């Protein structure tokens, strides 16, 4: 049986809450972006950069990336602990996914910084 | 709550992601019984299919997130970068991948809402669980077609 090692929230209860809280943030962010794309017939660089130059959009985007970090981390942990029984293999895969998610978060931070 | 999730014997595949339930089941089922691990000989209920699709769609988005973050980064770098992102997205192969991502996203969101409903205590019975699974899969197909129409 797999213990809590390498989970995101350090306990099953934390992971349970974080997974759902992050899911709600991501759901609203996706709905917002889809609405934006549908409501914008001709998407230009000015419109696109204009959206992300708003402080609230920077905050919202970084919030969504934070939610993605938690959600992806916990989600892939649940999947890997079920299907990859080899500890080293599971650790390596979890490491790759976790580092990628942190890199996405940092990329988002610096991209938003410059808009 | 975990106790409640484990009551129904037909749910063990669905709740396999909870190590608590898997452990609990393992301790209950100690008797010598025939074991069938040939998955292709097992008829999966809609709820089990909905569960595995939720995982598959999540992993698909996780793997393809690098492409989206890259497109996001170059599209905001400059007008030239925006044009480059647009031309990359116009590529038929990339477009197909984007359609796949949107399909996975649509399914994952619908299936996630079903999860939240079950957290709240609804659709946890055999009939309602399988029915909601079928509805979610059907709605995801509709969303997938809409995403295809929108992209092409």
In CATH, what number is assigned to the domain containing residue A97?
A: 1.20.1300.10
Distance, in angstroms, between B109 CA and closest chain A CA?
7
Longest dimension (CA), chain B: 68
pLDDT at residue B63 is higher than 80 = yes
Residue count (chain A): 115
| Within-domain flag for A4 | no
Contacts of A104 in chain B (CB under 8 A): 65-66, 69
Select from A12, A48, A72 the Cβ nearest to the Cβ of B76: A48
Confidence label for A2 from pLDDT (cuts 50, 70 and 90): low
Q: How many domains are there within chain A?
A: 1
Q: Is the pLDDT of residue B14 over 70?
A: no
- Express each pLDDT in A67-88 by its tens digit: 999 999 999 999 999 999 999 9
pLDDT band for A1, please (50, 70, 90 cuts). Answer: low
Q: Note whether residue A65 is domain-resident.
A: yes
- Chain B residues near residue A2 by CB distance under 8 angstroms: 19
In a domain, A46, yes or no: yes
Are the beta carbons of B66 and A100 separated by less than 8 Å? yes
Q: Using the beta-carbon criterion (under 8 Å), do A107 and B69 form an inter-chain contact?
A: yes
Q: What is the CA radius of gyration of chain A?
A: 17
**A75 in contact with B, Cβ within 8 Å:** yes
Alpha helices in chain B (DSSP H): 2-6, 19-28, 46-75, 79-90, 92-119, 126-151
Determine which of A6, A79, A98 to mutate to test the interface with B (most B C-beta atoms within 10 Å).
A79
With CB atoms and an 8 Å threshold, state whether A20 touches B116: yes
pTM over 0.90: no
**Is B73 close to A68, i.e. CB distance below 8 A?**
no
Residue of A nearest to B66 (CA): A104
Which residues in chain B are contacts of A81 at CB distance < 8 A?
19
Residue A92 lies inside a defined structural domain of this protein: yes
For range A57-66, the mean pLDDT: 98
Phi, psi of B87 (to 5 degrees): -70, -35
Domain holding A95, by residue range, is 12-113
Other C-beta atoms lying within 10 Å of the C-beta of residue B6: 18
Considering only CA atoms, which of A82, A54, A99, A106 is closest in space to residue B56? Answer: A82
Q: At residue A16, does pLDDT exceed 80? A: yes
In a domain, residue A2? The reply is no
In angstroms, the Cα distances linking B7 to B10, B28, B42, B117, B149 are 9, 12, 21, 18, 43
DSSP single-letter state for residue A12: H
Q: Does residue A5 belong to any structural domain of this protein? A: no
Average pLDDT, whole number, for chain B?
Answer: 85
């Amino acid at each position: 049986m797999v213990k809590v090692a390498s989970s995101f929230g350090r306990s099953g209860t934390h992971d349970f809450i974080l997974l759902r809280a992050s899911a709600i943030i991501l759901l609203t962010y996706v709905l917002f972006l889809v609405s934006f794309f549908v409501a914008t017939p001709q998407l230009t660089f000015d419109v696109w950069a204009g959206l992300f130059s708003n402080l609230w959009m920077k905050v919202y985007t970084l919030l969504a990336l934070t939610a993605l970090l938690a959600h992806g981390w916990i989600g892939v942990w649940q999947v890997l602990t079920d299907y990859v029984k080899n500890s080293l293999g599971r650790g390596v895969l979890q490491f790759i996914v976790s580092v990628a998610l942190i890199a996405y978060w940092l990329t988002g931070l610096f991209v938003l910084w410059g808009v | 709550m975990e106790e409640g999730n484990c009551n129904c014997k037909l749910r063990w595949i669905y709740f396999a992601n909870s190590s608590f339930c898997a452990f609990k089941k393992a301790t209950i089922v100690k008797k010598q019984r025939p074991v069938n691990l040939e998955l292709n000989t097992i008829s999966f209920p809609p709820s089990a299919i909905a569960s595995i699709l939720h995982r598959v769609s999540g992993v698909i988005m996780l793997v393809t997130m690098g492409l989206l973050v890259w497109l996001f980064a170059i599209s905001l770098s400059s007008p030239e970068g925006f044009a480059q992102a647009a031309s990359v997205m116009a590529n038929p192969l990339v477009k197909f991948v984007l359609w796949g991502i949107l399909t996975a996203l649509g399914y994952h969101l619908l299936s996630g809402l079903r999860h939240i409903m079950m957290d709240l205590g609804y659709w946890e019975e055999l009939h309602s669980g399988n029915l909601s699974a079928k509805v979610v899969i059907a709605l995801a197909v509709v969303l997938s077609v809409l995403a295809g129409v929108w992209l092409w």
